[in-house]
Amino acid sequence: MKLYPTIGLETHAELMTESKLFCSCSAKFGGEENEHCCIGCSGFPGAIPSLNKKALELIVRAGFALDCKISRFTKWERKNYFYPDLPAAYQVSQMERPVCVGGGLEIEAGGETKTIRLNRIHLEEDAGKLNHVGGKSLADYNRTGVPLIEIVTEPDFHSAEEVVAYVEKLRQILQYGDICDGKMEQGSLRCDVNISLAPFGSEKLGTRTEIKNLNSIKAIGRAIAAEIERQTDLLENGEAIIQQTLRFDDATGEIIPMRTKEDAHDYRYFPDPDIPPVVLSEEEIERFRQALPELPGIRLKRYVNDFKLAEKDAVIILNDKRVSDFYDAAVAVHNNPKTLANFIVVELLRRVNLGEADMGALPFSPADFADLQRSVDEGKLNRDVRKDVLREMLESGKSPGQICDEGDLWLKEDSGAVEAVINKVLEANPKAVEQYRNGEVKVFGFLMGQASKELKGSAAPATVKNILESKLKGE
Ligand code: ADP
Ligand code: MG
Ligand code: ZN
């Protein structure tokens, strides 16, 4: 019996707001334990919540970016459960009337394009964090109440590869939309993966399990593969799948049961009496739509159609929003999108990949980077020299102009200046000159090397060769 996997995803994305969802505490990542807390987000009874309007704007933005229907009327429920990371013993969430309904995301996987349908996106509060130290668990409520959107798909995936393609694309859209920073390692984007197996061709889905809180793309791929294997083994041995919540151990690659799965009624959802429903006006929704930043798909079209970049290069630049923003800023200074794209893909990203440059902390501005490329494009600097200047910019943070002045790197336009340098080289190497004139022509390469070293690329190699040859021949 051939078994076929079906997967549905719930993605939690922390919104990029300054403050929490229902109080004015900072929503920033990190800080001293319990530094960003007040009576509201610490669950003291009697604190009056007040909705963060920015969070509402950002979820509507996510809705537009993912083709959802935006509900004008939206409301909140309390989801009740006890766990030490939840001081109020309930989470404010949305069950009946989420802000976004439906929608979809087109992905490419296994050489095919398909649309993953979304069920809904709702707004809720994040829980706190438990730090397990020396056999004790310490609660940190800095994250409690940070606004979160939960993006729920229909069970439309049938392989780990499709899920990975979806998460990568979703993450990019959220980042470009300034909705969520997408930092999975900091937990600001996490996925719950629901998996079931059924006989190939069967209409009915099998019993599902849910792996909670996967926080890297790699872990998502590995966890899905491990869970498909575990369920396959059980089913092939005639055993039943228990609907339960699981955890993936990144270190061992093992799937570990957490608890049997609750159903919605176990949470005793009820309307939050302190948070009035919201009615969004058409004007407000339209204003939110207008504020949606340029999304990666649109930026790709701009790069390919307007900038005439090869799609492959455009995709590489778009892959990291910081690179793409840097590129756009450089093009604004020096309007040569093609040479700047080449410089980024061939040189800057190579340094980044080697760990010699950090896109989050470059010691130079896009304008400096653009200036360097402009010097090359205007014929003032040899193209081969740009990588050396870039390396020095990374090391010293100096401007390209200063580096070229100090290093005498500008392309020497008059041959007199090149000649002067070659004369110096010939004077410094009388023995080699002698050898050449006695017919040992292979020393030419050595002299050429010395001259190039001295000129540091500030003259075209053909010019150097011509002048050197005529000098040696005593012309
Ligand atoms: P809950 O809120 O209890 O986790 P939902 O019904 O909202 O449950 O579903 C959560 C996710 O699980 C959705 O992405 C949905 O597509 C997916 N899902 C539901 N049933 C199955 C199934 N049999 N196999 C795989 N995924 C499923
Ligand atoms: Mg769930
Ligand atoms: Zn607070």
pLDDT in tens, 442-459: 899 999 999 888 888 888
| pLDDT (0 to 100) of residue 226 | 97
- pLDDT higher for 265 or 386? 386
Residues with CB under 5 A from ligand 3 (ion): 23, 25, 38, 40-41
Q: How far apart, in whole angstroms, are the C-alpha atoms of residue 409 and residue 400?
A: 10
| pLDDT (0 to 100) of residue 150 | 98
Q: What is the pLDDT of residues 175-191, one digit of tens each?
A: 999 999 999 999 999 99
Tokens read off for 115? 């649309």
| pLDDT (0 to 100) of residue 347 | 97
Q: What are phi and psi of 108, to 5 degrees?
A: -120, 125
Return the ligand number nearest the Cα of 47: 3
Whether pLDDT at 474 is above 90: no
Q: Which residue from 7, 167, 194 has its CB within 8 A of the most atoms of ligand 1, so it is best to mutate? A: 194
Atom in ligand 1 nearest the alpha carbon of residue 195: 25
Pairing of strands 209-214, 244-249: parallel
Task: Name the 3-class secondary structure at 73.
Answer: strand
Whether pLDDT at 462 is above 80: no
Q: How far apart, in whole angstroms, are the C-alpha atoms of residue 27 and residue 198?
A: 42
Is the shortest distance between the CB of 6 and ligand 1 below 6 Å? yes
Atom in ligand 1 nearest the alpha carbon of residue 205: 23
Whether pLDDT at 236 is above 70: yes
Q: How far apart, in whole angstroms, are the C-alpha atoms of residue 222 and residue 225?
A: 5
pLDDT band at 261; cut points 50, 70, 90: low
Whether pLDDT at 47 is above 80: yes
Kindly give the distance from the C-alpha atom of residue 143 to the centroid of ligand 3, in angstroms, as a whole number.
10
Mean pLDDT (the chain) is 94
Q: DSSP string covering 232-287, please?
A: HHHHHTTPPPP-EEEEEETTTTEEEEEEEPPPGGGGT-EE-TTS--EE--HHHHHH
Kindly give the distance from the C-alpha atom of residue 38 to the centroid of ligand 3, in angstroms, as a whole number.
4
Return the ligand number nearest the Cα of 38: 3
| pLDDT (0 to 100) of residue 259 | 75
Q: Which residue from 77, 91, 117, 152 has its CB within 8 A of the most atoms of ligand 1, so it is best to mutate? A: 152
Q: Kindly report the protein residue whose alpha carbon is nearest to atom 11 of ligand 1.
A: 8
Average pLDDT over residues 108-115: 95
Pairing of strands 209-214, 147-153: unpaired
Return the ligand number nearest the Cα of 93: 1
Whether pLDDT at 475 is above 70: no
Whether pLDDT at 149 is above 80: yes
Kindly give the distance from the C-alpha atom of residue 210 to the centroid of ligand 2, in angstroms, as a whole number.
7
Q: From 89, 121, 117, select the one nearest 105 (Cα to Cα).
A: 117
**What is the largest distance, in Å, between two alpha-carbon atoms of the chain?**
101
Q: Strand ranges (DSSP E) for 86-234?
A: 90-93, 100-101, 104-109, 112-125, 129-133, 136-140, 147-153, 189-199, 209-214
| pLDDT (0 to 100) of residue 327 | 98
Q: Kindly report the protein residue whose alpha carbon is nearest to atom 14 of ligand 1.
A: 8
Q: Kindly report the protein residue whose alpha carbon is nearest to atom 15 of ligand 1.
A: 8
Whether pLDDT at 142 is above 70: yes
Is the shortest distance between the CB of 321 and ligand 1 below 6 Å? no
Q: From 332, 94, 349, 57, select the one nearest 177 (Cα to Cα).
A: 57
| pLDDT (0 to 100) of residue 464 | 84
| pLDDT (0 to 100) of residue 323 | 97
Contact in structure between 146 and 14 (CB atoms under 8 Å): yes
- Domains along the chain with CATH numbers: 3-283 (no CATH), 294-407 (no CATH), 415-474 (1.10.10.410)
Q: Which residue from 94, 208, 224 has its CB within 8 A of the most atoms of ligand 1, so it is best to mutate? A: 208
Q: How far apart, in whole angstroms, are the C-alpha atoms of residue 348 and residue 365?
A: 13
In angstroms, what CA-CA distances link 408 with 375, 403, 426, 450?
14, 8, 20, 16
Amino acid present at 242: I
Kindly give the distance from the C-alpha atom of residue 184 to the centroid of ligand 2, in angstroms, as a whole number.
18
Average pLDDT over residues 339-343: 98
Q: What is the pLDDT of residues 152-172, one digit of tens each?
A: 999 999 999 999 999 999 999
Angle, helices 415-428/461-472, rounded to nearest 10 degrees: 50
Whether pLDDT at 1 is above 80: no
Q: How far apart, in whole angstroms, are the C-alpha atoms of residue 277 and residue 474?
A: 93
pLDDT band at 331; cut points 50, 70, 90: very high
Q: How far apart, in whole angstroms, are the C-alpha atoms of residue 176 and residue 19?
A: 20
Q: How far apart, in whole angstroms, are the C-alpha atoms of residue 392 and residue 387?
A: 9
Q: Which residue has the tokens 């498909």?
A: 228
- pLDDT higher for 469 or 343? 343
Termini Cα distance of the chain: 87
| pLDDT (0 to 100) of residue 458 | 82
342: CB partners within 8 A, 6+ apart: 313
Average pLDDT over residues 282-310: 97
pLDDT band at 379; cut points 50, 70, 90: confident
Amino acid present at 259: R
| pLDDT (0 to 100) of residue 174 | 98
Tokens read off for 242? 């228990």
pTM: 0.86
Kindly give the distance from the C-alpha atom of residue 127 to the centroid of ligand 2, in angstroms, as a whole number.
15
Return the ligand number nearest the Cα of 209: 1
Whether pLDDT at 108 is above 90: yes
